[in-house]
Structure 1
Amino acid sequence: MKTRRPLTPEEVDESQRLKAIYEQKKAAAKAAGRSLTQAEVADACGWSGQSAFSQYATGKVPLNVEALLKLSKALGFAPGEVSPRLMEGIAFPKDEPGPQDLQPIQAWDDRTPLDEHEVEVPFLREIELSAGSGRFGIEEDDGSRLRFDKKDLRANGVQFDQAKCVTVRGNSMLPVLRDGAIVGINTGRTSITDVTDGDLYALNHNGQLRVKQIFRQPGGIRLRSFNRDEHPDEDYTFQRMHDEEISILGHVFWWAMFAR
């Protein structure tokens, strides 16, 4: 088994400075009424989960130039504050801003105007239908919105007006999606013929919002949970889909959740 080399004293100091900057930014965010988690920082750096950031901040892994530049952009600090060693001899073109000139994560709320490059994406929610039928349906939530960068939606082939968000409930999609995770769905992909086997999709199951992997089968579909020990596969013929009012709401193109 490959063992990691111990960090040098200088590398240990760098990780401690990084951790101190994060704690400072976290405290400032809390004072402003918002959060700044390690998972959010990792996501801003393009890393999956909080562990990558944690390894740098706790000195398990030494910083490198690429990671330092990503972290400086995400947290809004000059990279030389953390590691003059790594930044020695690195120059940025005069017509391009260095990481120290980039803006930190910005807070926003429902009253913050949209930038030109942003779009607000509504949530879908379960509602009880009127007339005391005891049945449920799905509609847009008038109050909840998330902001997405238009270029990110374009890059994923999502039309702005066809982007919606859904909240995942339950433990069926653990360990990938926790209870309360939010997924973005492309409502432009709702046909069985649009299904890519194994991809995630949001479904309307007789008024219940569900997020599952879908696999096409002769004469129907298979729904699969990541937590297959507690939630076995579900097979539905097209006739049963019709009888149980199962329809595809959209293809999942994005998700986010707190690492708790």
Structure 2
Amino acid sequence: MKIIPEHQIEESKKLRAIFEERQLQARHRGKRITQAGVGRACGWASAQSVFSQLLVGRMALSLDSLLKLALVLRFSPSEVSPRLASTMELIAKLPGIVQTDVEPYRLPVLAGSVPVSCKALLSAGKAFELERGAFGHLTIYSADPLAYGMVVSGNHLSPRFRNGEILVIEPGKPCQAGDEVLVQLDDGLCMLREFIYQRDGQCRLDGVCGGDSVYVENTSIQAMHVVDVIAKSSRWNR
């Protein structure tokens, strides 16, 4: 009987916990993450089989598999395998290593600041008003120089968006099907919805907590900005 090393068991537990957390986050958005999907995103031929064996500890994590999973599931390699993460640091320090050889395996932490410039005054209806103002800033990085923060006020979109949370909105990011978006209508009201498609002069927007779909004339939409992340309150400097 093959004896599985203790570190292999511990790493599989940590990886499984992260995967289950990502599944839960996806379900809250009405999405689904599968083992096969993760495996395909990593480029493995036997997608579901390989990832499944890594999750239960039957297969040991390699540096290559850890890096691919870290990029797909968005975690730091040290969260799952400190031993392999330390190997990455040693490789980076080797003399003669070309920077581009190491760079693809780095997960940089980027500093930045995003202004919090509005509050979503949520109501029981589909649309709500925005309160404009200067509400401090978020200590968070965004690749969009026009990004801004929006405070959620009210629980009508809970559990997806809860009272007091701050959303990072990116106006410069193109909308893709499945994106959550802030839609600004020409009557001054706004909606937080899931973008599905635009065609035949209309835009289909679904509820972020499931349920109803609405069809809005393109001519009635003043702006549509992608909701990038939900920022932690610890990043909000008021």
Larger radius of gyration: 1
With the length of structure 2 as denominator, give the TM-score of the two structures.
Answer: 0.48
With the length of structure 1 as denominator, give the TM-score of the two structures.
Answer: 0.45
